[in-house]
Every structure is written in C-alpha cells, then in structure tokens.
Amino acid sequence: MSTNDKQIMDVANGLAEQVMEELKEAASGGRKRRYARFVLAALSSIPWVGGFLSATAGLDAEMQQERFNELHLLWLEEHKEKIQELGKTLSRILNRLEQFDEEIKGRIESPQYLDLVKKGFRSWDQADTHEKRRLLTRLLTNAGATKLCPDDLVRLFIDWIDHYHESHFLVIKEIYKSPGITRGQIWDNIHGQETREDAAEADLFKLLIRDLSTGGVIRQRRQTDAAGRFMTKPVRKKSKGRSRVMKSAFDYVEPYELTELGTQFVHYTMEEVVPRIR
C-alpha cells in the first residue's frame, strides 16, 4: 500500500467515524435528541451517503485483498468533500435552531417539516453552486424556526431554487433592495456597462426578466385600490410621430417590484430567522 493510499484511507475512515458520532449524538438524550429525526431525514434523502459509509467500512478488507484501485480513491476523494460540506450544513442548521426555545420542538419533529427536509436536501445534493446550497440551508432553517407561510410555498421556493440560476437571484436581490427599480437600473447595478440591444447579454437579461415575471416572482409596479385590486393603466394618446424602434431591454421608465410570493421567498432564503412560530 502506498503512502498516498494509506492517507486517503485514514481520512475516509475518519470521516465515516465522524458522521456516525454525529448520528449517535443526535439520537442521544437531552436537547440533541430532538434533532435525530431531522438528521436521519436529511441523510436518507441523499443516496450516496449510504454508499460512502459502506465503502469506507470495507476499505481495510479491500486493501488486504488488493482489490482497492484508483477509481475507489477518486470516488472517495470526491465524496469526502461532499460529506464534509454536508456535515457543516447540518451543524449550521442545528446550531441555529438550538438558539430558539422549546416552542419549535413540535415543528421540527412534525412529518410535514421532515418532508420539507427530505425535499430540501435532495435539492441541496443536486445543486450546482454554493449559492444555491446557502439559499436552501437558510430556507430549511427558517422553515423550521418559523411558519410565516404554508409548507406548500416552502416546497415552491425549493423548486424555484432548483429552476432558477444565480443570475436570476441577482435580479431578485436588486429589486428587493430598491422596490420600483427599472430594468435599466438593474442592469447598471449588476453590470455597470452598456451593451447593444441585439447583443447576447441583452437577450439573456430579457430572458431573466421574462422568467421571473412569468414565474410570479417579480412584476411591473401597479397601482391598487382600497381592496387591493390592481388598477388598469390610463390609455395614452398615440403620438403622431410614432417611434420606429422597439422598447429597450434597459428601459428606465417602467418600475419593477417583487410579488408577495417573491417577497416571502426573499424573507425565507436571504434573511435571518424570525425568532418565533406563527
């Protein structure tokens, strides 16, 4: 056995033992016991966790039989980083939930919340960026510590994180920071330089706005009456000198805002926990 192989084997075995210790701690008595179902729900939703633990458990036998090859090492090395990040994510959520009182115990042990945990960690495992994993981590934390919106909406927010790209989230953040901001101002804040209307960058920007608008995340700002009904825009008289160019992708006139769904999405994924359950 080479020195490198021995080092990787030691690391893998150490990680497996660490995970098992965390599971034992979660299932033990005291305050940590209430998190056992949470941890098991999270781990059971990620298929490769069981394979990783089985692989590390059989390392010694495979090494002795000289059946341990380079592919094993590569697979373990890749999943070593994943298991480390998974452990940090679980610890981050549990440490945050630990700051709240016993009022959240019923919530985090409920089948409804555990279903959200399973769905959320399936998406966490498949997320292609760290930003998406951060959004999912905060969403699951907030959904455990508060109940400001129905669980069906939390499922929808998980689907949004799956579906949208980080570029979409940049647009959402700009509109959240400055309600009534225009498309031109959004572009300026994100990119800071002009581009042609027929450029690929302009096409992508229009696609982002269209995705978020049709998805119910953002909308053009509209006036409402006392009952919250949207008012129609006054009809403008057509000018005699009609413009021959289309409306700009970087328009500085029409203001945009988050929908109510979009606002709740931001509260659940981009803000700190509201310390109570409703």
Alpha helices in 31-69 (DSSP H): 36-44, 47-57, 59-64
- Given a cut of 80, whether residue 276 has pLDDT beyond it is no
pLDDT at position 23, please?
52
* pLDDT (mean) for 82-111: 82
- The pLDDT confidence band at residue 36, using thresholds 50, 70 and 90, is confident
pTM of the model: 0.79
Domains of the chain: 3-146 (no CATH), 147-229+246-278 (1.10.10)
pLDDT (0 to 100) of residue 114: 94
- Beta strands 181-182 and 255-258, pairing class: antiparallel
Range ranked top by mean pLDDT from 13-27, 42-56, 84-98, 198-212: 198-212
Please give the Cα distance from 65 to 40 (Å, whole number): 33
pLDDT band at 153 (very low <50, low <70, confident <90, very high): very high
154-193 pLDDT tens trace: 999 999 999 999 999 999 999 999 999 999 999 999 998 8
Q: 181: part of which helix (H) or strand (E)?
A: strand 181-182
Mean pLDDT, the chain, whole residue set: 79
- pLDDT > 70? residue 87: yes
Paired sense of beta strands 255-258 and 218-220, if any = antiparallel
pLDDT for residue 277: 40
Q: Residue 149: how many CB atoms within 10 A of its CB?
A: 19
CB-based contact 94:35 (threshold 8 Å): yes
Residue 55 — pLDDT band, cuts 50, 70, 90?
low
Question: Are residues 7 and 53 in contact, defined by beta-carbon separation less than 8 angstroms?
Answer: no
- Statement: residue 144 has pLDDT above 50: yes
Please, where are the H alpha helices in 58-110? 59-64, 70-97, 105-108
How far is 164 from 18, CA to CA, in rounded Å? 34
Ranges 82-96, 154-168, 222-236: which has the least confidence = 222-236
> Residue-wise over 239-268: b if at least 16 C-beta within 10 A, else e?
eeeeeeeeeebbeeeebbbbeebbbbbbbb
